[in-house]
Amino acid sequence: MRSKSGPQSSAEEHVREIRRATRKQYSSEGKIRIVLEGLRGEYSIAELCRREGIVQSLYYKWSKEFLEAGKKRLSGDTERQATSGEVKDLRREMGDLKRRAKSLGYELQELPNEADVAVS
């Protein structure tokens, strides 16, 4: 058995790093598009994967994740993520409530103390 040493192994490592760095990253929308196209059945999975430049095992992994996520969502097993607009609205409401609580605290401080009222 031949051991890997010297310039050949460092060249192989360099090639692996280049491949890793130049690997195409798919957005969630891109993954969904590919999975839905495969589910439509207009083309074979092999043809679809060749055209998209992915291996079939990756397609099947995405398809499984897609279907499992849909199943969880339909069964009510997941919590919905808040949209950025909802987060902004909640932060604004929280700020309003904090300001109102602070002003109520000041109003309470200005009210006469019951012990003071009983003495006079």
**The total number of residues written for the chain in this structure:** 120
Q: What is the dihedral of CA 14, 16, 22, 28, to 10 degrees?
A: -150
Tokens 């010297």, residue located: 6
Residue ranges per domain, the chain? 24-80, 82-113
pLDDT of the chain, 120 residues: tens digit per residue: 455 555 677 888 888 888 777 778 899 999 999 999 999 999 999 999 999 999 999 999 999 999 999 888 888 766 667 788 888 999 999 999 999 998 888 777 777 776 565 555
CB-CB contact of 31 with 20 (8 Å): no
Whose CA is closest to 55, among 76, 34, 29, 71?
34
CA–CA separation, 29 vs 7, rounded Å? Answer: 41
Q: What DSSP designation does 42 have?
A: S
pTM: 0.50
Joined together, the tokens standing for residue 80 give: 């919905």
CA–CA separation, 108 vs 35, rounded Å? Answer: 61
